[in-house]
Amino acid sequence: MIAEAGLALLWFAAAMALLQLFAAIMALRGGEGSSEYAGVVRPSAIVQGPLVALSFLMLMWLFIRTDLSVLLVAANSHSAKPFIFKLAGTWGNHEGSMLLWVTVMALSGSLVALVERRLPERTMIATLAAQAFVSLGFYAFLLFSSNPFERLPTPVPEGNGLNPLLQDIGLAFHPPTLYIGYVGLSVAFSFAVGALLTREVGPAFARAMRPWVLGSWIFLTIGITAGSYWAYYELGWGGWWFWDPVENASLMPWLAATALLHSASVLASRDALRTWTIMLGVVAFSMSMVGTFLVRSGILTSVHAFAVDPERGTFILALLTIYIGGALTLFGARASTVSEGKQFSLVSREAGLVFNNVMLSAILGIVLLGTLYPLLTEAFDTKVSVGPPYFNPVGAMFAIPMIVVMAVGPLLRWRRDSFDRIAKALILPAVLTAALLAGAVLLAPGIGLLPLLGLGLSLGLGVASILPLLGRDLRRTPLPTWGMVFGHLGLAVALFGMASESAFSTEKLVAANVGDVVEVGPWSIELTAIEPVAGPNWTALEATMTARYEDGAPVTLHPQSRNFTQPPQTTSESALSTRWNGQLYAVVGEEGLDGRWQLRLWWKPFVPMIWLGGLLIAFGGALSLLGRVLGDIRRGYQRRRIAMRRDERPHSRAVPEPAE
């Protein structure tokens, strides 16, 4: 019954989306009864959120109970799986994750319809029409080609289990985080379409869209950071970013969202970059659709490619074409009617933001081409793989100027400024960068060019990112400014971690007997024992290592080589020991014919800063979002009070609206 109820709720929600679209179109066409139609649009959007959320809870319930009469549960779960992974199993598969997509989408649609009152009503209706149009595509995808509630003709005695690589707490929450990010961009897209349709591209539109872009950007940042850490410790390869297509699929929307975020803030505070912001809104959502397509269609070879199903791929590709093609056509038709915004000079904060927007777009283009190139060549029967030798140097050519401008830009004033005014402030970061570069070349001549530049720039950017706070009253500094400082500082911290990891990592690969001592970097590690251990659904060989950092206290590490029973698979569980200045990373391999064990050990100085930086960036975003939302609430409250006063004294003079 639960499965049928879940499916019925989904159909009902889809019907409400159809109603929302129809009513919005009727309302926008004007004429007789258009205000009645307009009254239906918001409620039909609001009701979808709870409907789909309930449907998702039902699927969750089926997974918790391990109801083996449901195809999806039988294919992806197992009664002996730990509870948390039964729960996470709900979205650890194609159908469930698409239902999650739609759930987040419906909930955000409800929220927009419920709270957003600042835009002209016509623009809101056009926005909700776009939102309904996008939702309908996903409802159709879910109901026609990925029904999560399908029953089996006869229940099976036991389920197939979940891919052991996915049985990890980090990964359990990785996809939902990314999906929230993707879906937030679909809301931004709807706002852009709504503003374009009703020719209301201005600061009010940017202010309404900004929290959604910020929110989705925060989730994407956290999702990418978590995904990278997962790949780092779970795959046991010691790397933290592989330029894997699935990683790129999450990076591309992030790059577009970063650009959109910055151009939306120029539009909101300076009323410049109107068409550019609309364009980025379309691009950002396109990138999250491309991401979904790449991941869900199974078109790419990747450690992550679970779903292999061409029919679904075609469906998502069709959706992608309709949305993006439609949006670009609309953009082409309407872009010339968007009037120019305010001007700015070549040296101004706007100009800095425009420069970095272009750089971000260039990096986005490079990642996109690199990700799609293997698919293109495969159509001509040449198989290639594209990896770090392409992405690192080509991306860096645009990332490096971007980082330089990132250090300077926040110090510039809006509209017009001169370098003379800020030159003094920039001396310190410039000198530090130069000193570090010179020092590194003299003391550690073996470092590659990119890590070297990374180290220098991270130091300069780190210092420069704090400079906007100089001379300000810290208690009165607005939260969004703090957000910017933390965001930029976070990037500097992450960059330092990345550069340091690639410049200073040391690796040891040895075959060792129990009792042998291995030196790696400042560590000496003794292999003390290898013993079999067992978990709920796996058995493993576990090594015990006693590691000492220089003359410090010993630390014990337990890397494992795990054999999962359901489905049968072997994984390497790495063991980490984290210090303030880096991480020791240990993996145990097979027993050789001579009884020695293969050990792979890395000392990675400052590597945790990569993820710490990622979290700082997300924290900066959160501060900014909080500041914006609090500001909106305060202004809404003031407006209501003024309106109330006006009602009490209906014959008094009109009170002017407070300035934004």
Cβ proximity to another protein: between 54 and 511 the closer is 511
* H/E element, 530: strand 523-534
The C-alpha atoms of residue 348 and residue 353 are separated, in whole angstroms, by: 9
Tell me how far CA of residue 354 lies from CA of 288, 406, 409, 525, in angstroms. 22, 11, 10, 51
Candidate residues 28, 74, 354, 547; the one interacting with another protein per rule CB under 8 A: 354
**Piece of the chain touching another protein by CB under 8 A; list 97-105, 245-253, 373-381, 469-477:** 373-381
Judged by CB under 8 A, the residue of 316, 359, 467, 545 near another protein is 359
Of 389 and 445, which CB lies nearer to another protein in the complex structure?
A: 389
φ and ψ at residue 598, rounded to 5 degrees:
-80, 125
| 590 touching another protein, by CB under 8 A | yes
Distance, CA of 258 to CA of 275 (rounded, Å): 17
332 touching another protein, by CB under 8 A: no
Closest CA to 342 of 421, 416, 418: 416
* CB of 414 closer than 8 Å to CB of 342: no
Contact pick of 12, 22, 373, 414 for another protein (by CB under 8 A): 373
Question: In this chain, which stretch among 137-145, 312-320, 377-385, 602-610 interacts with another protein, using CB under 8 A?
Answer: 377-385
Q: Which two tokens stand for residue 453?
A: 């530049």
Q: Which residues contact 658 (CB under 8 A, 6 or more apart)?
A: 635, 638, 639, 642
- Closest listed residue to residue 165, CA positions, set 81, 231, 246, 77: 231
Subset of residues 438 to 497 that bind another protein, contact rule: CB under 8 A: none
Enumerate residues 6+ apart whose C-beta is below 8 A from 598: 509, 510, 511, 588, 589, 590, 591, 592
Question: 625-631: which pairs have CB atoms within 8 A and are 24 or more residues apart?
Answer: 625/211, 625/214, 625/215, 625/218, 625/483, 626/479, 627/478, 627/479, 627/480, 627/482, 627/483, 628/207, 628/210, 628/211, 628/214, 628/480, 629/211, 630/479
Cα 580 to Cα 31, 493, 549, 607: the distances in Å are: 68, 14, 12, 10
Contacts of 587 (CB under 8 A, 6+ apart): 236, 238, 559, 572, 574, 575, 599, 600, 601
Is 589 near another protein (CB under 8 A)? yes
Confirm or reject binding of residue 544 to another protein (CB under 8 A).
no
Which part of the chain contacts another protein (CB under 8 A), choosing from 126-134, 217-225, 387-395, 457-465?
387-395
Q: Which of 259, 366, 520, 617 binds another protein (CB under 8 A)?
A: 366
Under rule CB under 8 A, residue 12 binds another protein:
no
- Choose the binding region for another protein from 378-386, 406-414, 442-450, 646-654 (rule: CB under 8 A): 378-386
Closest CA to 405 of 501, 610, 262: 262
Q: Which of 550, 594, 647, 648 binds another protein (CB under 8 A)?
A: 594
Q: In the set 12, 229, 390, 414, which binds another protein (CB under 8 A)?
A: 390
Whether 514 contacts 528, CB under 8 Å: yes
Give the residue among 504, 509, 528 at the shortest CA–CA distance from 519.
509
Q: Please select the residue that binds another protein; options are 314, 337, 377, 581, rule is CB under 8 A.
A: 377
Q: Cβ of residue 378: shortest distance to another protein, in angstroms?
A: 8
568: contact with another protein by CB under 8 A: yes
Nearest approach, Cβ of residue 339 and another protein (Å) = 9
DSSP state of 303: T
* CA-based max dimension of the chain: 98
Instruction: Confirm if 187 and 281 have CB atoms less than 8 A apart.
Output: no
Beta-bridge partner residues of 588 = 599
Which of residues 83, 385, 470, 553 is near another protein by CB under 8 A? 385
Using CB under 8 A as the binding rule, whether residue 362 contacts another protein is answered as: yes
Residue 118 interacts with another protein (CB under 8 A): yes or no: no
569 belongs to the binding site for another protein (CB under 8 A): yes
Q: Which of 34, 69, 163, 544 binds another protein (CB under 8 A)?
A: 163
Question: Which segments of 448-505 are extended strands (E)?
Answer: none
Binders in 301-320 for another protein, by CB under 8 A = 301, 303, 305
Burial class (CB within 10 angstroms; exposed 0-12, middle 13-18, buried 19+) of 299: buried
Residue 202, token pair as written in the block: 């201005």
Q: Which of residues 496-535 bind another protein (CB under 8 A)?
A: 509-511
Q: How far is the CB of 112 from another protein (least distance, A)?
A: 30
- Among 499, 599, 516, residue whose Cα is nearest residue 559: 599
CB of 448 to another protein, least distance (A): 16
Q: Does 551 bind another protein (CB under 8 A)?
A: no
Residues of this chain, 598-617, that bind another protein according to CB under 8 A: 598, 600
Site for another protein in 267-286 (CB under 8 A): 275-276
Residue 566 lies near another protein (rule: CB under 8 A): no
Query: CB under 8 A: which stretch of 48-56, 149-157, 223-231, 563-571 binds another protein?
Result: 563-571
Which position among 29, 32, 157, 340 is part of the footprint of another protein (CB under 8 A)? Answer: 340
Identity of the residue, 249 or 362, whose beta carbon is nearer to another protein in the bound complex: 362
Task: State the Cα–Cα distance between residues 215 and 221, nearest whole angstrom.
Answer: 10
Shortest distance in whole angstroms from residue 314 CB to another protein:
18
Name which position in 8, 386, 426, 514 contacts another protein (CB under 8 A).
386
Using the contact rule CB under 8 A, the part of the chain among 51-59, 325-333, 360-368, 535-543 near another protein is: 360-368
* Sites of contact with another protein (CB under 8 A): 163, 237, 275-276, 301, 303, 305, 340-341, 343, 354, 358-359, 361-363, 365-366, 369-370, 373-374, 377, 382-387, 389-390, 393-394, 397-398, 509-511, 561, 567-572, 587, 589-590, 592-594, 596, 598, 600
